[in-house]
Structure 1
Amino acid sequence: MHFTSEQPLDDGVLERAFSLDEIPGILWTPASASASTPAPLILIGHPPLGLRRMYPRLAGRARYYATEYGFAAATVELPGSGDRPRWAAVEQARADLRRAMEAGEPVGDEIVDALVLPLVEKSVPEWQAALDALLSLPEIGGPVGYEGGVISIGIRLAAVEPRISAANLFAGSLVPAAMFEEARQVGIPLQVLLQWDDEGNDRQAALDLFDAFGTKEKTLHANLGGHTGVPQFELDAGARFFARHLL
């Protein structure tokens, strides 16, 4: 991990951009984090829209976690997004998805699999490599939580990464049928956030996925409204969920 910039923010949070094998990322640490008092870590997932576009939302969440609860938070750029090289296969799958949605046609399993499964296969090892590097820093001590989307990435990480102790997943992305079986292998505490009227999400599929999760501790937060209408109080609800399991 190579830090490429460092910026103390006005709330005492330290924001550092980094590069890990040419994968961009950002780390936010609270003022309280040190080698003697290392901070628990939250990995913040996001849709493949690019870190620059997602930055205000990601930074807002990270700074809240840092100032209110003393968590460190980090995120990485997804494959094929932002400044990373274009990924022809996924670009084609995105074009097929847009074409189907604009034509009012059902989105077939072939499109969903082509869009999501390669992203999961490539991004999960990158998240794990980032976790290796982040936990090697003296001011980061774990335990570790994961939040956000793409929800299929969160499912895979929750199922295979033993260092992740809890996950707050955001419903709203297309989920391949194969991920339902992986969801049954998830045993860590979960909170799932669902926008009831999300125009880009199949509500019943999201409920079926929640039902499939194998953990004995899972909570569904469902709110009226579309994809961008998540109530502000859900930020604190997610933070309190992590406080119960990481502090």
Structure 2
Amino acid sequence: MRFTSEQRHDDGVLEREFTLGEIPGTLWTPGSAASAAPAPLILMAHNNGLPQREPRLGQAVVRYSAARGYAVASIDAAGCGDRPRSAADEEARAELRRTLRAGEPADEIFESLVGPMVEKAAPDWRTTLDALLALPGIDGPVGYSGWTALGIRLAVTEPRITAAGFFAGGYVPRAQRAEARQVTVPLLLLLQWDDEGNPRQRALDLFDAFGGKEKTLHANMGGHTGTPWFETDDGVRFFDRHLK
């Protein structure tokens, strides 16, 4: 892992960009990380593979979590963010957007795009996790927050992840829906009741399918980008219970 830049924010949070082979990422650590006990780690992945520097990832959310004592990391995994994409992937993305706007069935297009994306992204996240836990000032336990389909795969295959927060969950590939019953870590699922891009009933069915005994659903009115700010604080309290 090679750090390429760093910035200290007014709240004391240290933001550092890094590269790990071909993987670009960003790491945020609390201001007291150098002198306090090692910080627990949260892996944060945006839905649909947006760039890890994309403002919609929630820079305020990331900084808030880091200021509360967490190391937070995000990457551009294979096929996500600014990483190279094939012409077929770009065509599928354009067709998916057109289909959703038109209100037409999008399952097969979504499956052909997101299914392979999860398969490619999960190994990059596991490689990044290995490198992050080798850094001074960062330790387990590890939490995951964000993109539901990827989170399911990681929660099933990565035993170091001990709690997970997922967002939406209406459109999840068949492979991850089948894996949902194997997800037994404590879980918080955020659902926007009027999410135009994630069918509500599918998200509710997915929540029901998760196999853990401790799972919580927070549903709020509004569309995909309308998650209220107080969910940020609730999310940090969820990780406080399970990572600290």
Q: TM-score by structure 2 length? A: 0.94
- Structure 1, unaligned stretches of length 5 or more? none
Query: 1:157 and 2:144 equivalent?
Result: no
Matches of 2:133 and 2:221, distance apart in 1 = 38
The answer for unaligned runs of 5 or more in structure 2 is: none
Residue 227 of structure 2: aligned partner: 230
Q: CA RMSD in A?
A: 1.6
Structure 1 residues 36 and 225 mapped into 2: Cα distance closer, same or farther (>3 Å)? Answer: closer
Q: Structure 2: how far apart are the matches of 1:141 and 1:245? A: 14
* Structure 1 pair 61–26 and aligned structure 2 pair: CA distance change class (3 A): same
- Which residue number in structure 2 is paired with residue 79 of structure 1? 78
Q: Which moved more, 1:34-43 or 1:181-190?
A: 34-43
Alignment of 1:101-180 (within 5 A): 101-108=100-107, 110-149=108-147, 151-172=148-169, 174-180=171-177
- Asked whether the equivalents of residues 223 and 230 of structure 1 are also in contact (C-alpha less than 8 Å), the reply is yes
How far apart, CA to CA, are the structure 2 residues paired with 1:32 and 1:127?
26
Q: Where does residue 58 of structure 2 map in the other structure?
A: 58
CA apart distance, 1:90: 2.2
- Specify the code of the residue in structure 2 equivalent to 1:84: R
Deviations 1:58-97 (A, max 9, x none): 3211211122x21110000133344321233322321221
Deviation at 1:172? Answer: 4.7
Query: What residue in structure 1 maps to residue 3 of structure 2?
Result: 3
User: Which residue of structure 1 aligns with residue 241 of structure 2?
Assistant: 244
Tell me if structure 2 keeps the 8 A contact 1:7–1:16.
yes
Conservation of the 8 A alpha-carbon contact between 2:100 and 2:197: no
Q: Counterpart amino acid of 1:219?
A: T
| Matched residue, 1:92 | 91
Instruction: Assess if the C-alpha contact under 8 Å between 2:77 and 2:125 holds in 1.
Output: no
1:205-216 aligned within 5 A: 205-216=202-213
Partner of 2:23: 23
- Report the alpha carbon displacement of residue 35 of structure 1 after superposing the two structures with TM: 7.2
- Partner amino acid for 1:3? F
Distance 1:83 1:168 in 2: 24
Letter in 2 for 1:24: P
CA–CA separation in structure 2 for the residues paired with 1:30 and 1:193: 25
Query: Which one-letter code corresponds to 2:66 in the other structure?
Result: A
CA contact 1:172–1:227 (8 Å) conserved in 2: no
- Asked if the contact 2:195/2:222 (under 8 Å) is kept, the reply is yes
